[in-house]
Amino acid sequence: MILIKSVYKLLGLGLVICFFSSCINFQEVKIEDIKTIHINELGNSSLRFNSEIKISNPNFFEIKVIDSNFDVFIKNTKVGQAKFEEEITIPGNSSNYVDVSFKGSYNEADMNTLSSLMGSVLFGNKEIDFKVDGFVEGKALWIKRKIELQHEGKVPLELFNPK
């Protein structure tokens, strides 16, 4: 008898969860602006940088970004891949700048592009043609969703983080 009541309670809870999860409609999260890029560390095959990114979340609920992967392009040349170093939380109904740390990887061929980029920055060019194309996987309430993101434009670049 107790087992039957427990089964009914679990079925009821399952129906309630299904009902409410079908009512949740994810609106697209967007990158609106990239304020700056600060290169913190440049190794033989890896790169660490942080950036101030304006992210718009039109949903009423916060979204926790749990995974990401981006192809990074400079002057329309792919220079490697990057991902968020840690989870970030984007508040609901917001459009704010978030300081995000990235870890990137590149191969030897990409190093030539990065070297010419560093040289141009040293000689006074403070902006780069920058593009990211990839995804973030977010978690809101009980639901996970992968969202494609893309942004391109001129972005200020600093070789070392002033912090």
pLDDT (tens digit, 9 = 90+) per residue, 76-134?
878 778 888 888 898 999 999 988 888 877 766 566 766 766 676 677 667 878 888 98
| Mean confidence (pLDDT) of the chain | 76
CB count in 10 Å sphere of residue 83: 15
Percent of all residues in the chain with a pLDDT value above 70, rounded to a whole number: 70
Q: What is the mean pLDDT of residues 20-48?
A: 74
Domains and CATH numbers, the chain: 28-158 (2.60.40.10)
Distance CA 78, CA 130 (A): 10
**Token pair listed for 55:** 């992210």
Asked whether 152 and 128 are in contact (CB, 8 A), the reply is no
> Taking the model in full, what pTM does it have?
0.69
Q: Is the pLDDT of residue 3 over 60?
A: no
**Which pLDDT does position 72 carry in this prediction?**
83
pLDDT of residue 106: 72
